[in-house]
Amino acid sequence: ARSCVHTENCFVPTSEIIAVEETELNKKQRNIGKWQKMAKPHAFTVYYVKKARNHRWRCSDVTFWCVDEHLCNQWIQALKELLEMQKSRPKQLLVYINPYGGKRQGKRIYEQKVAPLFSLASISTDVVITEHANHAKDNLFEVNINKYDGVVCVGGDGMFSEVMHGLIGRMQKDSGIDQNNPKAPLVQCNIRIGIIPAGSTDCICYSTVGISDPITSALHIIVGDCQPLDVSSVHRNNTFLKYSVSLLGYGFYGDVLKDSEKKRWMGPMRYDYSGFKTFLSHHYYEGTISFQPAKHTLGSPRDKDSCRTG
């Protein structure tokens, strides 16, 4: 089938091909035994997703050799046309990098592991290195958001939260919706958020991709994979506070996060330190939690139905 490329022991669907390029052959390659019979060999290389264990993805490649230059060009053109038909793939991305998150490796991770893959897949990027808290959130209210197919955050859960708040807030602002009204129907975001894990905690990335690995996440972004997430809004006295996709912390957990923010220089170790310190302070917390059960719903945690509300 034209939609598959055959390698030594597997078929690769078009949806998992990253790029196709003409391969330059040097003199050493032309002198290798089995190619000596070819007067002028031509070749093209297919870069594709190779799936390893534990949800880990890697970029692999296979080179196809042709005696005829016209045949080689025909293959390249046909495969590139198939890739153009993959409409869910991004062509232009806005990238925010948190240089202070986790072990302060965000910029290095992006430049060494992610940027080369985006370039290989012909994805153009505008990169912003954040300089302070809420830099990305504030910037999202100013940029021409319509020119991008997605926003990528390089960092941890905090960086994702900041980009999410900026993107959702921008959508509501452009639509004239008041976020402070808890009954206001929010406009759904039509721009995706990609996460390159490089933080102290990468729970959102792990729960959506299945592994905290920058290369795997970059490849999911390249092929246009999408995982819908439900978002909750938190209000108090008709004032908007936060959006949440993972968890809401109250009491002890809130005190741990508040104390740990002052010790970001410690890296991930700050959570252990602040947790132990807060535990020894022996505070107690009071509160009332209420919920409203859903009506007329059928479903099970073990069924294969995804929540597509909205």
Q: Would you state the structure tokens that stand for residue 219, as one six-digit string?
A: 């490849």
Taking a C-beta distance cutoff of 8 angstroms, is the pair 151, 202 a contact? no
CA distance linking residue 43 with residue 178, whole number of Å: 57
CA-to-CA dists, residue 208 to 193, 211, 216, 227, angstroms: 12, 8, 12, 7
Q: Which amino acid is at 68?
A: D
CA distance linking residue 287 with residue 204, whole number of Å: 27
Among candidate residues 8, 20, 17, the one with its CA nearest the CA of residue 72? 20
CA distance linking residue 189 with residue 165, whole number of Å: 11
Task: Tell me whether strands 42-51 and 92-97 are parallel, antiparallel or unpaired.
Answer: unpaired
CA-to-CA dists, residue 204 to 152, 154, 194, 258, angstroms: 13, 13, 11, 20
Beta strands in 11-81 (DSSP E): 11-13, 17-23, 42-51, 57-66
Helices (H), the chain: 27-30, 69-84, 106-109, 115-120, 135-140, 157-174, 203-209, 214-223, 252-260, 269-281
Among candidate residues 255, 250, 153, 170, the one with its CA nearest the CA of residue 204? 153
Catalytic residues: 157
